[in-house]
Amino acid sequence: MPRSYPIEKTRNIGIIAHIDAGKTTVSERVLFYTGVSHKIGEVHEGDTVMDWMEQERERGITITSAATTAFWIPTYAGRLTSPHPSLEKEGKTSPHPSLEKEGKTSPHPSLDGSTALTTGKEGKTDGDQRRKEYEHRINLIDTPGHIDFTVEVKRSLRVLDGAVVVFDGVAGVEPQSETNWHYADEYKVPRVCFINKLDRMGASFDKSFSSILERLTPNAVAIQLPIGLESEFQGVVDLLQEKAFEFQGEHGERVVEIPIPEAMQAEVVQKRHELVEKIAEQDDQLLEHYLGGEAIALPDLRRVLRKAVIANTLVPVMCGSALKNKGVQLMLDAVVEYLPSPLDVPPIKATDPKTGAEIARPADDNQPFTALAFKVATDPYVGALTYFRNYAGILKRGSYIVNVNKDQQERVSRIVRMHANQREEVDEIYAGEIAALVGLKNTTTGDTLCDPAAPLLLERITFPEPVIGIRIEPKTKVDLEKMSAALHRLMDEDPTFRVAGDPETGETIISGMGELHLEIIVDRMKREFGVEANVGRPQVAYKETINGQAEAEGKYIRQTGGRGQYGHAWLRVKSLPRRSGFVFVNAIKGGSIPNEFIPPVEKGVREALTNGILAHYPMVDLEVTLFDGSYHEVDSSEAAFKIAGSMAFKEACQHANPSILEPIMNVQVLAPQDFLGEVTGDLNSKRGQIQGMSDRGTVKVIDAHVPLAEMFGYATQIRSMTQGRGSFTMEFDHYEVVPKSIETQIIDGRKK
Ligand SMILES: Nc1nc2c(ncn2[C@@H]2O[C@H](COP(=O)(O)OP(=O)(O)OP(=O)(O)O)[C@@H](O)[C@H]2O)c(=O)[nH]1
Ligand SMILES: [Mg+2]
């Protein structure tokens, strides 16, 4: 079967932002204007398509990223009137009527039959023609903004080709805008910006735009200007077209051109001039024309801007108000116009699992199938759902694939395209698409799935380490039996969630990114798996390390009749810089320990690492060198060397200046000026270090590094300290050695 949709007309994009900037509100408009939904879902009414989880709807926040597919014909292609009249006819049951009933030939109901295209009678042919020429498939992922669910942003950006970064027009750049921006930088994801909420009191396009320039990138360029602000916010001026638009109809569904307001004309000329200059600088030929005083044609400007966006040298900035239904259609135009198709990004790089050679696989249907599993979810109806990005080749139902990381073959029994929590069964998936597999058994996040005849390894996704833990205890014996299975299922889904046993007490400790993260996990365990549990208070996920160097030997020798035990190893331990993890070096010369007993020594060390010498926290940032030892012809065994390795390691660490590491958080507090003294004094008393202070309107913004241990309950404290007017966000920054006095308290606490 040939491919149903041209790859160059596909856009895989994510919506990313700080919490509450309006990502889901924007996404719901996208679904409406593209005809996927017949009604706009609202976050505050708990009836959104994209935030479908109960917990999301109750809390009005996104927790898990949701994917969907929509089709879009840019407004400039003449689709300026009634975008989808046919939806009325289709009935309101299925959220994707067009996909279900009409098959793949007619994904866009609005363009069929008696559509209200401006041309009128010849609607059908005109519509078909227009669709062929202009329609694009947008695969869209709405991500959460809360730092606790950052995993969802990271893994989405890893597989997406472009992103829309949404900003709150009052706050401008916020902490998670920065974090997510840096993730996008890391994966070189081209972006467009959307300054949202311009209807709010205190909204400012200029200030928000400046904050993007100052804090995110000097390459940002305004391609729009707002007409009016706050309650007067009316529409936008498109600078390249030099046209003004407003959004008419009950849901702003009609994009209507209006005259540029008299008062804005001088500004529009000037801002357009600045924009054209920035674009011209991106292309030698254009620059020559520009410097020669020639007018540059719109298609040329668009072409060069597109090239620059894809190369990450320019970032267009737009504006609007999703809640008030303004500007979203033009944002979609920009997605089509400026963000890359899978063909526009470099071919995915992979390594040959046998030779280690680097291989690039282009986004081509004729290449062997190559995909990355970026998310595993449990669906109540079909079980395990493995989301994947198909980088190359075609995946067909009924075929076999290999999970290269696990070296296991699996049969492809069902392929689905996801629309939030709804599934659309498909027979095949082409290069450049995003879809999910049902029923894969052993695939976890970050695994590479390939044609068994041509296996390759794609780079895995790295995730932040959990910093907060809580003890969890099943309520009844029945819960006890189900709890471990439930926790392991949840752990399979979420690479930032860990389950561990406390070796001291035998209790279970779950750890994750923050209090909210763990609260949601416990809640999901109850609702989805029927497991009730009591939880303790949140505690810091400390780590241990060493700060010096030492050598020690471990001898495990038992020779009491019969066959004995003999393991003997000399180890050197040495501290490494933060975030180095663990390195094992084998420096045995002359066979003082035979090769077969070296892996057991390493294994013994690795086991000891999980249970640090001061307070049983995991040990990190150290190098262990095995440099000497001895063996016995008869009595030596793997088990004996494992124990010897572990003994030597613990002994050496005792002499290498061990210490406990604690997570230090990047905290940003917003508080009115009047409370500044109290807030900073309190941060100091929490061992915090103020990193900077700035103004945001009448509000002070305080950035500080504070140990996580001091931050529990801060949400309540900041409210009472500021009469409810202050707020804060925090995210993990780095690990630091705890002061000795506190180290003693931590060790005593663990002994109790
Ligand atoms: N005034 C105004 N409010 C908006 C606008 N867009 C969204 N909101 C409101 O802001 C709140 C948060 O919107 P969401 O769409 O849930 O924001 P989000 O970015 O998806 O939030 P998370 O997914 O939790 O990070 C909701 O109450 C929205 O109704 C807007 O343009 N203007
Ligand atoms: Mg959301």
How does the average pLDDT of the chain come out, rounded?
A: 88
In a domain, 478, yes or no: yes
Ligand nearest to the CA of 51: 2
DSSP code string of 493-545: H-TT-EEEE-TTT--EEEEESSHHHHHHHHHHHHHHH---EEE---EE--EEE
Q: What's the CA dihedral at 316, 321, 325, 326 to 10 degrees?
A: -50
- pLDDT value, residue 194: 98
Q: Which residue's CA lies nearest to atom 21 of ligand 1?
A: 20
- pLDDT value, residue 124: 52
pLDDT band at 414 (very low <50, low <70, confident <90, very high): very high
Do residues 148 and 288 share a domain? yes
Do residues 486 and 511 share a domain? yes
In a domain, 1, yes or no: no
**Axis-axis angle for helices 714-721, 676-685 (nearest 10):** 150
Question: DSSP label at 635?
Answer: T
Do residues 436 and 473 share a domain? no
In a domain, 233, yes or no: yes
- pLDDT value, residue 123: 46
Which residues line ligand 1 at a C-beta cut-off of 6 Å? 17, 19-25, 43-44, 60-62, 144-146, 196-197, 199-200, 321-324
Q: Which residue's CA lies nearest to atom 14 of ligand 1?
A: 22
Residues found in the chain: 752
Do residues 155 and 86 share a domain? no
Residue range 455-464: mean pLDDT, rounded:
88
- pLDDT value, residue 48: 85
CATH of the domain at 402: 2.40.30.10
Distance (Å) of CA 151 to CA 148, 385, 514, 665:
8, 17, 12, 17
Do residues 302 and 265 share a domain? yes
Instruction: Measure 377 CA to ligand 1 centroid, in angstroms.
Output: 25
Instruction: Measure 524 CA to ligand 1 centroid, in angstroms.
Output: 24
> What order do you get walking across the sheet with 224-227 strand by strand?
224-227, 235-238, 243-248, 254-258
Do residues 119 and 225 share a domain? no
- pLDDT value, residue 106: 32
Instruction: Give yes or no for residue 105 having a pLDDT over 70.
Output: no
Percentage of the chain exceeding pLDDT 70? 92
Instruction: Give yes or no for residue 79 having a pLDDT over 70.
Output: no
**Ligand 1 atom at shortest distance from the alpha carbon of 176:** 25
Neighbouring residues of 731: CB distance < 8 A, sequence distance ≥ 6: 147, 150, 175, 176, 179, 665, 666
SS3 155: helix
Phi, psi angle pair for 459, to nearest 5°: -65, 140
Per residue in 10-67, pLDDT tens? 999 999 999 999 999 999 999 999 888 888 888 888 888 888 888 888 888 888 888 8
Instruction: Give yes or no for residue 602 having a pLDDT over 90.
Output: yes
Do residues 237 and 148 share a domain? yes
Residue with tokens 């690990």: 735
Q: Which of 539, 565, 588 is the last residue of a domain?
A: 539
* Beta pairing, strands 220-222 & 315-319: parallel
Do residues 184 and 260 share a domain? yes
DSSP code string of 433-494: -EEEEE--SS--TT-EEE-TTS--EEPPPP-PPP-EEEEEEESSHHHHHHHHHHHHHHHHH-
**Ligand 1 atom at shortest distance from the alpha carbon of 26:** 15
In a domain, 463, yes or no: no
Per residue in 253-308, pLDDT tens? 999 999 999 999 999 999 999 999 999 999 999 999 999 988 899 999 999 999 99
The separation between the first and the last C-alpha atoms of the chain, rounded to the nearest angstrom, is 67
Q: Which of 134, 150, 173 is the last residue of a domain?
A: 134
Do residues 645 and 690 share a domain? no
Q: Which of 305, 338, 371 is the last residue of a domain?
A: 338
Instruction: Give yes or no for residue 230 having a pLDDT over 60.
Output: yes
pLDDT band at 191 (very low <50, low <70, confident <90, very high): very high
Residue range 493-497: mean pLDDT, rounded:
90
Instruction: Measure 95 CA to ligand 2 centroid, in angstroms.
Output: 19
Helix (DSSP H) and strand (DSSP E) numbers for the chain = 18, 38
Least confident of 202-206, 222-226, 463-467, 682-686: 463-467
The residue ranking higher by pLDDT, 210 or 559, is 210
Do residues 212 and 327 share a domain? yes
Q: Which residue's CA lies nearest to atom 12 of ligand 1?
A: 20
Instruction: Measure 188 CA to ligand 2 centroid, in angstroms.
Output: 23
Ligand nearest to the CA of 47: 1
Do residues 140 and 118 share a domain? no
Ligand nearest to the CA of 16: 1
Do residues 116 and 252 share a domain? no
- pLDDT value, residue 125: 57
Instruction: Give yes or no for residue 610 having a pLDDT over 60.
Output: yes
Instruction: Give yes or no for residue 404 having a pLDDT over 50.
Output: yes
- pLDDT value, residue 150: 87
CATH of the domain at 254: 3.40.50.300
pTM: 0.83
Residue range 622-628: mean pLDDT, rounded:
97
Residue range 139-147: mean pLDDT, rounded:
91
CATH of the domain at 591: 3.30.230.10
In a domain, 401, yes or no: yes
Instruction: Measure 612 CA to ligand 1 centroid, in angstroms.
Output: 44
Instruction: Give yes or no for residue 543 having a pLDDT over 70.
Output: yes
Instruction: Measure 170 CA to ligand 2 centroid, in angstroms.
Output: 18
pLDDT band at 505 (very low <50, low <70, confident <90, very high): low
Q: Which residue's CA lies nearest to atom 27 of ligand 1?
A: 44
Residues of the domain holding 637:
544-656
Report d(CA 621, CA 657) in Å as an integer. Answer: 13
What tokens appear for 86 in the block?
């046919």
230 sits in the region (left: phi over 0; alpha: psi -120 to 50; else beta) called left
What is the tally of structural domains in the chain?
6
Distance (Å) of CA 353 to CA 178, 359, 445, 457, 726:
35, 10, 18, 6, 53
- pLDDT value, residue 159: 93
Per residue in 650-695, pLDDT tens? 999 999 999 999 999 999 998 989 999 999 999 999 999 999 998 8
Question: DSSP label at 270?
Answer: H
Mutate to test the pocket of ligand 1, among 24, 26, 143 (most ligand atoms within 8 A of CB): 24
Residue range 346-352: mean pLDDT, rounded:
91
Instruction: Give yes or no for residue 734 having a pLDDT over 80.
Output: yes
In a domain, 266, yes or no: yes
- pLDDT value, residue 80: 42
Neighbouring residues of 681: CB distance < 8 A, sequence distance ≥ 6: none
pLDDT band at 98 (very low <50, low <70, confident <90, very high): very low
In a domain, 703, yes or no: yes
CATH of the domain at 712: 3.30.70.240
In a domain, 263, yes or no: yes
- pLDDT value, residue 94: 36
Residue range 521-525: mean pLDDT, rounded:
92
- pLDDT value, residue 138: 93
Instruction: Give yes or no for residue 102 having a pLDDT over 70.
Output: no
